[in-house]
Structure 1
Amino acid sequence: MTELWRLSATELARRIRTREVSAREAATDALARLDAVNPLINAVVAHDPARVYEQADRVDAAIARGEDPGPLAGVPVTTKINVDQAGFATTNGTVLQKDLIAPANSPAVDNLVRAGAVLLGRTNSPT
């Protein structure tokens, strides 16, 4: 099978919408890639695989019900740590804000979710 993380977002979303692959498979591949390379580059500073799979399963369930999951159907994406994502710290790159947990998503993150994206993790940002 193709390494799904190498596909463009539009190609991956197409394959997920047509059930050629599942959103869960895309999530599994993205998490494996994250585990393989992130220790070397430390770009993703927070992620929760259980949440990733929950989101992917919701996309797959929507497709199974015949619903349109959105243009980013199951595509794993990351958000920066300077944008609120519910349940994660919005640190803005500073240790002083490590406990500033967002109670809700920012509108930008909500738009990604509505578009069917799977929130893979939080990427670092300088202060």
Structure 2
Amino acid sequence: MSAATRELFERYHACWADRDPDRIAELHAADSLFHLHAGQEPARGRTAIREAAAGFLTLVPDLTFQLVSLRVGEDFWVSRFEMTGTSSTGKPVQIDLADYVVVEDGTVKEKHSYVDGVAMHAALN
């Protein structure tokens, strides 16, 4: 396991836990890709990633993440979370999330997020 990659994971996760889209975007490479595989187009570049993160966080203003598992390599991490909160429509949220993240030069180069689409649709609609 790479200590630098683990440290980047910790900082990145803290940005999401703090619901801070500016800090999230800052940890991405300038030409990074963020793709929530739930029907959305990938966001490319820090500005688009910041907007995508802010949009998602607006849907669940009190979103929390419970880490289920984490695997860290030299240039990647794979994590599983349980996301909980209350959606902007007032419905309870409990959604499984799996992330595959590629790291390059100390930044997030690619982030692919996979969610339980049925649970996400039920919570947000």
Calculate the TM-score normalised by the size of structure 2: 0.31
User: Per residue, is there more helix in 1 or in 2?
Assistant: 1
Calculate the TM-score normalised by the size of structure 1: 0.31
Task: Pick 1 or 2: higher relative contact order, CA cutoff 8 A, min separation 6.
Answer: 1
User: Per residue, is there more strand in 1 or in 2?
Assistant: 2
